[in-house]
């Protein structure tokens, strides 16, 4: 596996599409920082009372799943087109080793993409805002862990689909659609779970500090279903950092690592079995 990983890593570094995506991430990071800087300056002049930095720092949720969906389909699809997979099997490499090597390289690409975003944003924050964004983050260690778990899940899903479907165009369409759907379900799930138990009531006939139960708050089996959905959808985990504020009681759940393990094991097992039976023409 070491030789395959070394070859894939070298191929990645020479890949123009990889560097094109890195340039896009760099430009996006600069745009995000300009938005954060503008809001920070407005806050300094009391045009805004609060400056919530999590949506800026953790907005990788917007593009991380989509970028991995694109790159995994491109990377594996090119190997099908060029006959690389067939040559590797003829050369004596086990199919399981080839599959796991693809999984690890796709995971590495996701880590590099996320790290590129954070490094550029932190550098700009330190130079121009005195690390204001970093100092005002809410639970950063927890959300960084969630991003890593989400990358494990994304890599498992996209490596499975990319290697089982040899048509590059079809894989790109399916994985992009899936990434967008995961964002939608992740947003809907986190929004529902963030609903507070009680909500304030405003009006002339109400006194101060009056609250009532929130009918949107999830309880019982319905909340359990939403929490497991949250644990199984990678984009949902990343959206925690973007959408959760300091006032929200949405702690890290033990279901999340369990859900990630179940997702990775399920897709990796299906991928290994399907690839072992696949006829490489």
Q: Could you tell me which residue, 54 or 263, shows the higher pLDDT?
A: 263
**Percent of the chain clearing pLDDT 70 (strictly above):** 90
pLDDT reading at 221 higher than 70: yes
pLDDT reading at 266 higher than 60: yes
pLDDT value at residue 207: 54
pLDDT reading at 111 higher than 60: yes
User: pLDDT category, 99, cuts 50, 70, 90?
Assistant: very high
Q: How far is the C-alpha of 102 from the C-alpha of 84, rounded, in Å?
A: 12
Q: Could you tell me which residue, 123 or 167, shows the higher pLDDT?
A: 123
pLDDT value at residue 248: 61
pLDDT value at residue 48: 47
User: pLDDT category, 250, cuts 50, 70, 90?
Assistant: low
pLDDT value at residue 41: 72
Q: Could you tell me which residue, 84 or 6, shows the higher pLDDT?
A: 6
For residue 187, what are the β-bridge partners? none
pLDDT value at residue 129: 80
Task: Of 73-82, 125-134, 222-231, give the range with the top mean pLDDT.
Answer: 222-231
**Percent of the chain clearing pLDDT 90 (strictly above):** 31
DSSP string, the chain: -HHHHHHHHHHHHH-HHHHHHHHHHHHHHHHHHHHHHHHHHHHHTTS-S----HHHHTGGGGTHHHHHHHHHHHHHHHHHHHTHHHHHHHTT--HHHHHHHHHHHHHHHHHHHHHHHHHHHHHHHHHHSTTHHHHT-SSHHHHHHHHHHHHHHHHHHHHHHHHH---HHHHHHHHHHHHHHHHHHHHHHHHHHT--SEEE--STTS-TT-EEE-TT---HHHHHHHHHHHHH-HHHHHHHHHH--TT---PPPTHHHHHHHHHHHHHHHHHHHHHHH----
Q: Could you tell me which residue, 76 or 261, shows the higher pLDDT?
A: 261
The tens digit of pLDDT for each residue in 39-68 reads: 777 655 444 455 678 888 888 778 889 999
User: pLDDT category, 281, cuts 50, 70, 90?
Assistant: low
Q: What is the mean pLDDT of the chain?
A: 84
pLDDT value at residue 246: 59
- The lowest-confidence range among 31-35, 107-111, 212-216 is 212-216
The tens digit of pLDDT for each residue in 135-181 reads: 888 888 888 888 999 999 999 999 999 998 878 888 999 999 999 99
pLDDT value at residue 205: 57
pLDDT value at residue 243: 81
């Amino acid at each position: 596996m070491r030789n395959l990983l070394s070859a894939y890593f070298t191929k990645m570094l020479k890949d123009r599409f990889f560097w094109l995506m890195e340039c896009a991430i760099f430009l996006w990071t600069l745009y995000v920082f300009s938005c954060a800087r503008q809001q920070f300056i407005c806050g300094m002049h009391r045009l805004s009372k609060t400056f919530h930095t999590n949506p800026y720092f953790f907005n990788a949720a917007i593009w991380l799943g989509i970028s991995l969906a694109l790159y995994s389909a491109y990377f594996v699809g090119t190997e099908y087109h060029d006959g690389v997979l067939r040559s590797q099997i003829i050369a004596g490499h086990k199919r399981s080793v080839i599959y796991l090597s693809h999984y690890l390289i796709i995971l590495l690409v996701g880590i590099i993409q996320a790290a590129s975003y954070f490094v550029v944003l932190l550098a700009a924050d330190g130079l121009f805002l005195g690390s204001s964004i970093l100092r005002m983050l809410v639970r950063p260690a927890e959300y960084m862990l969630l991003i890593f778990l989400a990358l494990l899940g994304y890599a498992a899903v996209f490596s499975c689909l990319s290697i089982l479907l040899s048509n590059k165009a079809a894989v790109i369409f399916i994985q992009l659609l899936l990434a967008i759907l995961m964002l939608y379900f992740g947003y809907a799930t986190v929004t529902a779970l963030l609903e507070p138990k009680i909500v304030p009531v405003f009006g002339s006939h109400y006194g101060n500090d009056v609250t009532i139960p929130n009918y949107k708050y999830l309880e019982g089996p319905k909340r359990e279903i939403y929490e497991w959905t949250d644990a199984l959808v990678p984009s949902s985990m990343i959206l925690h950092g973007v959408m959760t504020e300091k006032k929200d009681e949405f702690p890290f759940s033990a279901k999340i690592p369990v859900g990630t393990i179940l997702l990775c094991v399920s897709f990796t097992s299906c991928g290994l079995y399907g690839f072992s039976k696949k006829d490489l023409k």
